[in-house]
């Protein structure tokens, strides 16, 4: 399985920081290597050359189109996190969603 570089975005970066930590824990438990960072949406532009997946907090779904424009020209999957795992900060389900995004 390829190593993915994932960026999580929420309003301030706080809740996505917990989500990122939980995804990293789930990946470690599964023996997978993954890079997961969390930032506020205003910082996304600083990471477009480093990431292959941008996951947006469900409460920011309305920003997806604008963030897709920021990522245009880069091989980045831009997706909205599913509320059913985001609301519980479930790293295992989020990791499963990442696998789904990449067809793994």
The CA-based angle 49-60-82, given to 5 degrees, is 90
Query: Can you give the pTM of this predicted structure?
Result: 0.94
From 77, 46, 80, select the one nearest 60 (Cα to Cα): 80
- Domain housing 54: 4-101
Higher pLDDT pick, 67 / 13: 67
CATH number of the CATH domain containing 56: 3.40.50.2300
pLDDT 10s digits, 23-81: 999 999 999 999 999 998 889 999 999 999 999 999 999 999 999 999 999 999 999 99
Residue 1 has pLDDT above 70, yes or no: no
- Structural domains counted in the chain: 1
From 39, 44, 35, select the one nearest 95 (Cα to Cα): 35
- How far is residue 13 from each of residues 26, 57, 99, measured CA to CA in Å? 20, 10, 23
CA distance 86 to 31: 22
Q: What is the mean pLDDT of residues 92-104?
A: 96
Grouping H, G, I as helix, E, B as strand and the rest as coil, residue 96 is helix
């Amino acid at each position: 399985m390829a190593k993915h570089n994932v960026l999580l975005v929420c309003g301030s970066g706080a809740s996505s920081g917990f989500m990122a930590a939980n995804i990293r824990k789930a990946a470690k438990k599964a023996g997978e290597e993954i890079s997961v960072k969390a930032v506020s949406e205003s910082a996304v532009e600083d990471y477009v050359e480093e990431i292959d997946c941008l996951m947006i907090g469900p409460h920011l779904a309305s920003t997806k189109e604008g963030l897709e424009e920021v990522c245009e020209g880069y091989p980045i999957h831009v997706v909205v996190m599913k509320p059913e795992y985001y609301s519980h900060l479930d790293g295992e389900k989020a990791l499963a969603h990442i696998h789904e995004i990449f067809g793994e």
